[in-house]
Structure 1
């Protein structure tokens, strides 16, 4: 069952800015990564889902409801984290969290306090004195505290340090186990790789690719860096693999798929060291961009 549907959606701002003929769906319990550089149309797409914009053409639906006409109803079931949050700077973090809870009609804040403890958030300080990372933690608490079935997150770890990014990944994995439907825009490729089931890659407002994450992982290349015992050994290996790159005793190459033959070939040479690195999602991303 498709929870989120974007069907041939166009929003044209002129000068080739906007989104154009955008189509993808998110099934119940699926986590979809939304990748693209700044200005590619990620935030515009998300704003359509939240009912902040009406498309020039096409259909934007959540649970079969029109995202623009039924925005108030949709927003009750969605936890939304914008790329840039607005705060009341004169309030403390805890006062702001309590205010949002009151506006949402929440009586029980026990889960909010659990989240603050998990994220190591001291929310007693005035917001105007808080760092970007502290404000981001407040945003995450506000989004998650109502435990909504659908999460739409625009750059959710912006400003967080590496330790908090790991905690965020852990939290998202818990939400996946609970069956939540998640759309997550991010520039951090490791997050997408660790969390998402599929990925949508966009450029200049258009979809470049929609790929299953497991398929991406299976089909990506691996980098092999080999240190041979002598220049002669390296030269002999290069005759078998002429597309590899050589720097004296060192040879590097990229291979895709099964490597049985490569390992058997390598056993015939004297090797001092072998380093293997999987192609990162970022490198895959740049391949789709032709860069």
Structure 2
């Protein structure tokens, strides 16, 4: 049984808004990315997993527990970062984290302190006056403080500067190595590609694709940029029967689309040319996402 499972889940707000017949399964120890534009349905799906919303049809379960009926029990086992952070009334970040620790019965604060140090958080600051980045760091610490086995993260790097984003991804890498199960929504393609085993793409509340990130990165259709030393070779190559994506006469450059099965044909053809360089334009998750949209 998958650790997290969503079956035919629908929440229709009318006028095409909501989520429709969502089917997802996430195995134990899997890091799963959830990608889509703003308003595509990422947060709505996550709020159902957390038991904040009840589906009109279909179901969502975590470790066999119903996300709506057993939400209180589920919340004890999950580290959660909401997409919109609204802290309760507490004078400082320290006081907020202390209250959170008391709620979950956490006595050993050593792991929490290590996350605070890594995220360079000053929790003594006034909670309400914290910057967006500081609030995000506090939410990250709160989600990880109990070292939970399941993490549900809604746009977790929002508000973080580039250095802190890298630090947070390093923390997620550590969680992944520990065998934690992570479900993470994001609009940052590079971080999803870096950390996730699989990714689901959602558009207008409907899933349009679920793929392993390795399958996307090792796409059989390749794009190569080639620059020739002489313009004579450049023009001669244009007569070859390759799929030309772009041509730049001023630089003696071409960009061609080649399937894996035709790589040897390309290499044989290039033997009769003086090449300045050849490079592969790597196929990314962002390329894949754009092709579907």
Tell me the TM-score normalized by structure 2: 0.94
Counterpart in the other structure of 1:143 = 143
8 A contact 2:228–2:253 mirrored in 1: yes
Answer yes or no: is 1:247 the counterpart of 2:248: yes
Counterpart in the other structure of 1:92 = 92
Distance 1:83 1:254 in 2: 39
Distance 1:280 1:241 in 2: 26
In structure 2, stretches of 5+ residues that fail to align are none
Which contiguous aligned blocks of 4+ residues in structure 1 show a shift greater than 4 angstroms? none
Give CA-to-partner distance per residue, 1:159-191, whole Å, 9 cap, x none. 111111111111111111111111000111111
Counterpart in the other structure of 2:61 = 61
In structure 1, stretches of 5+ residues that fail to align are none
Distance 1:125 1:247 in 2: 55
Distance 1:78 1:35 in 2: 21
281, 284, 292: which one aligns with 1:288: 292
Number of residue pairs the alignment of both structures matches: 289
Between 1:217-226 and 1:138-147, the stretch displaced more is: 217-226
Where 2:232 maps in the other structure, the secondary structure is: helix
Counterpart in the other structure of 1:264 = 268
8 A contact 2:156–2:186 mirrored in 1: yes
Counterpart in the other structure of 2:206 = 206
Tell me the TM-score normalized by structure 1: 0.94
Between 1:129-138 and 1:16-25, the stretch displaced more is: 129-138
Answer yes or no: is 1:188 the counterpart of 2:191: no
- After superposition, the CA RMSD in angstroms is 1.6
Where 2:160 maps in the other structure, the secondary structure is: coil
Q: Judging changes above 3 Å, is the alpha-carbon distance between structure 1 residues 237 and 130 closer, same or farther for their aligned structure 2 residues?
A: same
Q: CA deviation at 1:221?
A: 4.2
Give CA-to-partner distance per residue, 1:135-177, whole Å, 9 cap, x none. 1111100000111111100001001111111111111111111
Between 1:196-205 and 1:80-89, the stretch displaced more is: 80-89
Q: Judging changes above 3 Å, is the alpha-carbon distance between structure 1 residues 118 and 144 closer, same or farther for their aligned structure 2 residues?
A: same
Distance 2:207 2:124 in 1: 43
Counterpart in the other structure of 1:44 = 44
Answer yes or no: is 1:279 the counterpart of 2:283: yes
8 A contact 1:218–1:257 mirrored in 2: no
